[in-house]
A and B are shown apart, each in its own frame.
Chain A
Amino acid sequence: MAAVGTLSRVGRLLCINRSRCLIFNSHPRRAISSCIDPAHGLSTEQKEFQKMAFDFAAKEMAPYMTEWDDKEIFPVETMRKAAQLGFGGIYVQPDVGGSGLSRLDTSVIFEALSTGCVSTTAYISIHNMCNWMIDTFGNAEQREKFCPDLCTMKTFASYCLTEPGSGSDAASLITSAKLSGDHYVLNGSKAFISGGGDTDVYVVMCRTGGKGSKGISCLVVEKDTPGLSFGKKEKKVGWNSQPTRAVIFEDCHVPVINRLGQEGQGFNIAMSGLNGGRINIASCSLGAAHACVQLARDHLLVRKQFGETLSNNQFLQFKLAEMATKLVASRLLVREAALALQEGRSDAVSICSMAKLFVTDECFNICNQALQMHGGYGYLKDYAVQQFVRDSRVHQILEGTNEVMRMIIARGLLSEL
């Protein structure tokens, strides 16, 4: 029993209870591996990516995440360092400077980076999504023109779909693009654009044809185009390391050669981008939740009340166990969705929506629970847990609200023959 005392003082074990002695893992031959280790089930190569991303997050992002949030700094230099490692175009093809990795590799990387700063990682994922859209739907000239600089993050990108009058009902957007010789003339505005005003390349969904999704095209608008302006920088609850602004088009002339794909293909392009984007956002939520479970665990082992550490309290033990279980379940779902997307499975759209829905909800709850476990300290900005809560809250809203995710899943189910 002396060993119990030693280990509970040192312990990283989740389940020590000195007085109960029931659930103590002391079998000498059983490996004490963490059940929430995100490396489980990955290939050797993926573990290398993950390790590198975790190192980068711990050294280059985590020490600054509070400052970036507090001072609303868009960490351009750090993101460019990340781009040097290949994070600017993770699933973009190598011939234009991308890393050519799979969706699963990407999910693993964003999950790891997110433990360093959710907001910055989320922006990097949006940047990647736009880069991929140009890589996939652009012609040779467009890919050559935009992708290499996006991959090195010499230039940054923004995804412009939402408008003041069309959020969930994205297909009803009204920003118009009227053909005039070799240009489109854009009029309208986009709302809540991440990076808006500080980025260089705007991937804009606009109406070139009639009503509905079939009348929408996708144009790449470059900064400093006359007629392009921005609203005020929004003050947000979280995601403060990325500026959010309205993007305004007033007789903005955009060359026809900047159109991705055909007229009328824009909505499909937008939705294709979002399938991957949803996995990425869910992966960011995973990273936040993983960091929070560790923070909560560490806190329970240190904080004492009623003469014992909180880790001896059965309610908190059970709560932590539930958090860990939901974290692992979430991770499995995201990784399965990533596999489905990269293999082009028929259920890809539905499972990406399921992953986004389930994971953003559960991971926010995990972060919130972790804050609760910190007690009053959890509410102070000195402690990182509140930033993970604030940053991950918006994941339940953007890239398609979780309500829209339900719509997509229901439609998939009910339209089956």
Chain B
Amino acid sequence: MSRVLVGVKRVIDYAVKIRVKPDNSGVVTDGVKHSMNPFCEIAVEEAVKLKEKKLIKEVVAVSCGPTQATETIRTALAMGCDRGIHVEVTGKDYESMGPLQVSKILAALAKREEASLVIVGKQAIDDDCNQTGQMTAALLDWPQGTFASEVTLEGDKVKVVREIDGGLETIKINMPAVLTADLRLNTPRYATLPNIMKAKKKKIANMKPAELGVDMVSRGPGGGSEGDILRGLLAVEQSSRQHGGLISSSRTHLHPAIVATDFHDSSSLKGYSETLSFTELIQPTGG
């Protein structure tokens, strides 16, 4: 029987109001309530359910980050994972850590642990990247079942119902595979008091990326020996809503009005995405 690796990420709790740091270098994380990424909870729940159905033998929870990441692993253990692995990433490495680095780590661990499945959340609610699962599959050259809303093990294959733009797509992929959990895959359980107590005795192994042969630097297209580090430049608060303007109700009048009006200051970062969404949303129908 097989082993499942579940990646869990510690993020700012979804209910917290995000604040930008006064120097605009990022968002405030000190003293702010953190918890497990909701999609990661769904991933853990799915893995634990597979174990309860006796389809897999062991669930290993992995998290990358500083010491606080172990809190998230403990929550996963309290939900039913058997053991945890904390890959310690701190300081500058942690600040520049993104999906590429995490997927390298997960790929290395999946090989080392001889996992049959790697399950992660479809995206994290802080960066909304939606990349880690897919990159991990590519690095391992494993099939991927992303945006999973239903997972069924069938022998050495996995049937995955995926939520896609057009509706639901069902695929059958070979194991080992990478799955990413979508919202409707399941409803995560609360950890019970006895399980929280039992989790205290479960082991969390500690290791550094270097031990897995993973280089935490992300290289730019130039690919130089030092590489470019992916670095956040600026964090600004979303500006408050602008006043609307009255325009005539006819659609044929609408299009020229949008094109003619300058809604935004092109020098601000948000301007670009606003243009994109406007012109894409309002397409004049023929005639």
Contact = CB atoms under 8 A, between A and B. Distances in A.
Task: Check if A and B associate.
Answer: yes
A48 B19 contact: no
Nearest to B13: A51
A34 B15 CA distance: 15
B237 A86 contact: no
Contacts of B22: 3, 6-7, 26, 28
B232 interface: no
A55 B21 CA distance: 28
A3 B192 CA distance: 43
A47 B200 CA distance: 13
A404 interface: no
A36 interface: no
B173 interface: no
B17 A86 contact: no
Interface in A20-62: 26, 28, 31-34, 44-45, 47-49, 51-52, 55-56, 58
Contacts of A90: 193
Interface in B178-221: 190-194, 196-197, 199-200
Interface residues of B, number: 26
Contacts of B193: 49, 52, 85-87, 90, 99, 101
Contacts, number: 68
B201 to A, nearest CB: 11
A323 B155 CA distance: 61
* Interface-central residue, B28, B31, B190, by most chain A CB under 10 Å: B190
Interface string A91-112: 0001000011100000000000
Interface residues of A, number: 31
B31 A45 contact: no
Contact of B19 (A10, A44, A101): A10
B89 interface: no
Interface of A: 3, 6-7, 10-12, 26, 28, 31-34, 44-45, 47-49, 51-52, 55-56, 58, 84-87, 90, 94, 99-101
21 contacts: A6-B20, A6-B237, A7-B19, A10-B19, A10-B20, A12-B17, A31-B30, A32-B19, A32-B32, A45-B197, A48-B196, A49-B196, A51-B75, A52-B78, A52-B193, A85-B190, A85-B192, A86-B192, A99-B193, A99-B194, A101-B193
Interface of B: 15, 17, 19-23, 28, 30-32, 35, 71, 74-75, 78, 190-194, 196-197, 199-200, 237
